[in-house]
Structure 1
Amino acid sequence: MGVVSVKDVAALAGVSAGTVSNVLNNPERVSAATIDRVQRAVDQLGYVRNGAARQLRAGHSRSIGLIVLDVGNPFFGELIRGAEDKAVEAGLTVLVSDSREHPDREKTQVELFEEQRVRGVLLSPVVEAWPAVERLRSRGIPVVLVDRALSDTSVSSVSVNDVAGGELAVAHLIEQGRRHIAFVGGPMNIRQVTDRLEGARKAVSEHSGVAFEVIETRELTVPAGLDAAARLATREAADRPDAVFAANDLLAFGVLQGLIVNGGLRVPDDLMLVGYDDIDFAQAAIVPLTSIRQPARRIGETGIELLLAEAEGSGDFTPRQVVYQPALVKRASTASP
């Protein structure tokens, strides 16, 4: 048998094609006995609904697009899980794209989701989010920013107060007696990086006698952290920072490995280290990593909740900006001797 149609199911069940359609799409309109008869016919014939046709009729699909900065970062892995769990509850699926921190790649992904008529898009933007938001919304596709907020309150967003997170990290290092602190992070066109740097500078400004420097990286990755560590390890002890705040945990892992394995330095004795995200691997590092925790899974869940509220709001939806507060998780990488 070729492709099974609604008419085939109707013929086997002894009902009309319209009744089969109601069973599949509006079962509340059909008796329990009819539903059972149609379902048995569906199972016997192996009928599968034509999702593309349904999408064409509805004007949108049952999929949600999610664009993240780096799918290889466990922080975004947790965010994706949260979004998928919440989407499944609503009978939807999540299509994940990885911009790899490249604006052109992000633009292409936005266009593809538009062509696929997704139900909505969760976006963690590389740079300025407004062009992508405007493009999608002009075509009736709701957008929610995740791990990022806009000053424009007409767009819903779910984010973490990264300025507060950066301040927490550096204030902790200062409290531990460190007086020469380096911020390792980049690129600086990513808002999360600059917000964390802003918080770090704020903490330094509130304490006298603290030196501060920035070691900029091209990526938020382990290899970028290794490169930063190599630059630090070649410096004389008197010129080297006694603490590092890394813009995320992947960078921190690279710094940690580079300092201990390649640089022969001790963490935390020679140099204390704080990361950001508190991914699962942080507590299992060769020196358990102090980190700034943000609720990645909850960010994904909340993003879906806001997206569905807007998609189903019939024009009376009021955009919301949800901001979670970060927390400092202390571990051995900043322990006092």
Structure 2
Amino acid sequence: MSQALQSLLDLLDLERIEENIFRGQSRSAVVPRVFGGQVAAQALVAAGRTVPEDRLPHSLHAYFLRIGDPGAPIVYTVDRMNDGRSFTARRVVAVQHGQPIFALSASFQKYEEGLDHQAPMPPAPDPATLPTAEERLPLYGNLDPEVVERLLEARAAVDLRYVDDPPYGRYGEPRAPRSQVWFRTNGKLDDDPPLNSVWGDPLLHICLATYVSDMTLLDSVLLAHGRGGWAVGDVVGASLDHAMWFHRPFRADEWLLYDQESPTSSGGRGLGQARIYTQDGRLAISVIQEGVMRVPRPS
């Protein structure tokens, strides 16, 4: 396991303050605010630690309310909304400096058999044939070296490989609003993580996928307009809301294909939707996110 991945696991291992209240630490992201995927994953950890071990998340719905301060801890309060025979519902509010910065509702289900079908996995190259971030990013001459360094540092725990150039890679060239990324953790995960007893191994993988899901989903919005985003300073963006549905088992330390597209952008907002497949073609997760997409006014 890489040191960066161990640091990410430590970040997700929340401190229990008292019943239904947890505290998490923060770290700087590529921009001077808390990374949204971190808050979403930590909130899901908090919810999961109040749920019986035989139930795993099947969906989450979240709102990003305020910019998070990376220099301050985040307190997560869990509301036990419902405990049924098959489903468990939790609501989590993340608070900093006395104000809510994030709200999440999650539903957990006890495994059961049922009808089974899925959309087929789209064509994609073998991830082993694609350049790593360390190989690809230095090739983009339009990126400041400091931006490259911040991107590599922020994603050090994840091996994330674009099938095609990211938005800032072919800046100024509108493309189809679709992007594909392969990802997995940068190192193998223990099947028995040394965290508390209610942290089941499948929950760990779901929380890590939640963390990664906020990294690239809105790229497809930028592609449609030939914009590079924050990396080149031509768009100011931030996540507004985020929803995920977990369909089938997967491991976050094995390759997952993040197939993303944007059906629309308007009113200073852009919408991204995606499916995440295992390398053998099983549809594991569906994701939808809307984010702020503002073009800076000329000074």
TM-score w.r.t. structure 1 length? 0.24
Structure (1 or 2) with the greater helix fraction:
1
Normalized against structure 2, the TM-score is what?
A: 0.27
